[in-house]
Amino acid sequence: MQQKEIRSAVTAQFYQSLAESGVEITAIPQAQLQAMVNALADGLIAGLAALDDDDAARSRAVVAGGPAGMAVAAALSADDDDEEALLWSGRPYISIGTRYELTSQRLRIIRGIFGRDFEEVELVRVRDTSVSQHLGERALDIGDVTIVSNDPQQPEIVLRNIKDPVEVREIIRKATLTEKQRRNLAYREEM
């Protein structure tokens, strides 16, 4: 979604919420009401962008120092026992209730603001990954990473609207290969 579309959707939602709340706002001049709603929308978008920047900074700190494979390999080689290391963490663009975490052994999808729903896929079960971006997503450097796994309950997982999806896909691929090697699992095509 483009910034204008997001802003107009948030503004429309504020107006709808005001109408449904039953609060008497007729005493507020229309220009002031519009300015107040625009300020709330801008504040919400700025807050979400700050959260996104925090995730991006944390993600860059994890994979800093070169290509994704080098950082992932370093994190995994320093961790020879069964302890998990966080390799990447992110959230969908303009999202509050969903977070993705990639560790050295599994991929976690955490959903919910008040309640929590955890979904996990072991990296040894991952078969394939792919990235898809349309023109608007390419302009914002966001996209979807699709993960195909041997997990019977969730054979396909889509990480939606994440920043730098090509780099994230590469981190997942390297971590998957490293985890399969650590567990002495040989790669072979399914027939």
C-alpha 10/C-alpha 140 separation (Å) is 19
Phi-psi region of 155 (alpha: psi -120 to 50; beta: other; left: phi over 0): alpha
Question: Taking 70 as the threshold, does the pLDDT of residue 2 lie above it?
Answer: no
Question: Taking 70 as the threshold, does the pLDDT of residue 40 lie above it?
Answer: yes
Q: Determine whether 185 is exposed, middle or buried from the number of CB atoms within 10 Å of its CB (0-12, 13-18, 19+).
A: exposed
The rounded mean pLDDT for the chain is 81
- At 117-136, the pLDDT tens digits run 999 999 999 999 999 999 98
- Closest Cα to residue 164, out of 33, 56, 41, 44? 56
Residue 96 contacts residue 113 (beta carbons within 8 Å): yes
Question: Taking 80 as the threshold, does the pLDDT of residue 44 lie above it?
Answer: no
Q: What percent of the chain has pLDDT over 90?
A: 40
